[in-house]
Amino acid sequence: MKVVIEAHKLENLLGPLVRQAPFIAMKAINDTLFDARKDQIDNQMKKYIAGGPTPWTKRGLRYEKASKNYLQGTLYFDSSRPYMKTVVKGGVVKAKKERLVAPVLGKIRLTKQGNLMKNKIQTLKENPRYFVGVPKRTSTPADYGLYRIKGRKKSAKLERVAYINLKQRRQRPTYEADKLAAKYIERRLRWNITRAVARAAKTSR
């Protein structure tokens, strides 16, 4: 999300402060970016990201400040958080390796964000009460997954707790950060311009 102010458009409003137009615009942009980032982390992410954002996701929301010579600032997610692209815009999530891993809801413990815990599949795979593969009763690749062994010997039954058979999945947008930020910035920018003008007037005396 970009925030741009053209300094010459402020000139008619500033009167004797016209020479401080670049400073006023820069200050208003940077204050607005700071405010918008805080609003996204403290309010919008908690509302639209299931289970709330992880600390890693929060730290990934950054902003590029404006300067007096470049009156444009940007609020963005760092490239090290590529998963946020599909969370914000939706789209297809493809497997990084051979298959995507997805939990069977209610069958395996998840984080509060609804994700599998790190190395959870590997840990359970080493547990004799679980196995990764396809049940003997079928050879269908779609049945490949992580299973819990319930019962003993001949009476044992298998219960799938995770799918390991997806090459890709479709993600619908759940947190439209760009639209939410744009709405907030449009409202907040006006207030920050007024505050920046007041500050410039005070320091010019």
Contacts for 62 with CB less than 8 Å, ≥ 6 apart: 37, 75, 76, 77, 78
Q: Is the pLDDT of residue 8 over 60?
A: no
pLDDT per residue over 79-130, tens digit each? 999 888 888 888 776 656 656 677 777 788 877 767 777 778 778 878 888 8
Strands (DSSP E) found in 21-167: 61-64, 72-77, 91-94, 100-103, 130-133, 145-150, 157-166
Which are the contacts of 70, defined by CB distance < 8 A and separation ≥ 6? none
What are the tens digits of pLDDT across the range 127-181? Answer: 888 887 887 766 676 777 888 888 777 777 888 888 776 666 677 788 999 999 9
Ordered alpha helix ranges (H), 107-175: 120-125
Give start and end residues of each alpha helix (H) in 116-176.
Answer: 120-125
Q: Under 8 Å CB-to-CB from 97, ≥6 apart: which residues?
A: none
Q: Global pTM? A: 0.65
Q: Note whether 33 and 3 are within 8 A (CB).
A: yes
Annotated domain spans of the chain: 2-90+172-203, 92-169
Asked if residue 169 lies in contact with residue 100, where contact means CB atoms within 8 angstroms, the answer is yes
Q: How confident is the model at residue 129, as a pLDDT? A: 85
- CA 204 from centre of chain: 42
